[in-house]
Amino acid sequence: MHLWYSGKHRAFGGNVQFLANATGFPLWTSPQLPGSRNDLSAARDLGVVGALTAAAARGLKTLADKAYHAAGIGILTPFKKTAAQPLLSARQRVHNLLQARARALGERAMALLKTRWRALRHVSLCPHRIGAIVQAALVLTQFEHQGRY
């Protein structure tokens, strides 16, 4: 299979990780990795997981999606339901709902970049350039919003 092909999205592309603050403003974006890489292995290779677990040791927890399940201490993910398990309990469903609502603010960061910068909506050039385009959009967004976040 091609390195830049994402089976999840059934398309060619890259994997770019990002970090946002609690208000949903983008703080950091990673360089691009091949689209075939899953989020957790990409974050581990970039050193993000180590930094987040170190932050958790100081009391700063991180909300993440299901792709980061078992990433480390302090990285909070929703409960997963597998085929062999019974349905999630009411407590687990409420936990997932509350976490999804809190994570929506973080997801706003990528939405802010994608909606503000048209070049990020459909990148049709070489996947090696995706990371540089996203990082340029991040710098421009931070410059545009300086002092507000």
Q: Which of 37-41, 52-56, 64-68, 145-149 has the lowest mean pLDDT?
A: 145-149
The counts of H helices and E strands in the chain are 4, 8
Look up residue 34 and give its DSSP letter.
E
* pTM (whole model) above 0.85: no
Question: In sequence order, what are the beta bridge partners of 15?
Answer: 33
**pLDDT of 140 over the 90 cut:** yes
Buried b (16+ CB within 10 A) or exposed e, 86-115: eeeeeeeeeebeebeeebeebebbbebbee
Query: Which has the closest alpha carbon to 20: 142, 147, 144?
Result: 142
Domain ranges of the chain: 5-144
Model confidence over 95-111: pLDDT tens digits?
Answer: 999 999 998 988 888 89
Model confidence over 4-55: pLDDT tens digits?
Answer: 777 776 777 778 888 888 888 999 999 988 877 888 888 898 888 999 889 8
